[in-house]
Amino acid sequence: MKSDGLWLFGYGSVIYRPGFDFVERRTATLRGWARRFSQKSDDHRGTPEFPGRVVTLVPEPSSHLKGVAFRLDPASAPSTLLALDHREKAGYERTIVDVTLEGGPITSATVYIAHRGNDWDAGHESHDAIVATIVRARGPSGTNVEYLFRLADALRSLGAHDPHVFALEAAARVALNR
């Protein structure tokens, strides 16, 4: 297997809408972190007046999560990362982690994480509070609930078990009668 290039690990919208070219796409697992809807979005799924909620990763030593690792062509990787830096400028920073590729080795990968205490950190909110925001928020990239539903669908298609995301999805469906 060819393994040159840089791996980028996606765990949110990057799974279903990468928006960049890649040479290989593999389901992958990241250990020691959990996916949480604890980041405010005032530029994609909300507005400065009414920020939505999107995912980031929080450190949780006993947790793991599934996402997708994309192998980037070395020639285009720098411009891809610069474009993602701009797309994810609301609090996210490039971080290097180790991910386990499904059916393959552990490799180091770049991941965008909005760390605790960043300017868009929503802190620890109840599920009810997160859902109440998600069902109302919309921004330039679309409604917040579409983001939640597309992410939940994408995780199901990876065979991922994510109680946090699936509980929010179920509560949003009840709230919206969908």
Catalytic annotation, residues? 88
What whole-number distance in Å separates Cα of residue 52 and Cα of residue 48?
9
From 13-21, 27-35, 100-108, 161-169, give the range in contact with ligand BEZ by CB under 6 A: 13-21
Among 33, 70, 92, 120, binds ligand BEZ (CB under 6 A): 92
Count, residues near ligand BEZ per rule CB under 6 A: 10
Q: What is the DSSP string of 91-122?
A: T-EEEEEEEEETTS-EEEEEEEE--TTSTTB-
Q: What is the residue whose two structure tokens read 């205490």?
A: 117
Among 10, 51, 52, 139, binds ligand BEZ (CB under 6 A): 10
Decide: is 14 part of the binding site for ligand BEZ (CB under 6 A).
yes
The footprint of ligand BEZ on residues 114-173 (CB under 6 A) is none
Among 7, 11, 33, 70, binds ligand BEZ (CB under 6 A): 11
User: Could you give the string, one character per residue 19-58, with x where binding to ligand BEZ holds by CB under 6 A and - elsewhere?
Assistant: ------------------------------------x---
Query: Within 10 A of 141 (CB to CB), how many other CB atoms are there?
Result: 18
From 4-12, 23-31, 45-53, 123-131, give the range in contact with ligand BEZ by CB under 6 A: 4-12
Give the phi and the psi of residue 16 in degrees, each rounded to 5: -100, -10
Buried residues in 116-138 as b, exposed as e (16+ CB within 10 A): eeeebbbeeeeeeebbbbbbebb
Binding site for ligand BEZ (CB under 6 A): 10-15, 55, 88, 92, 112
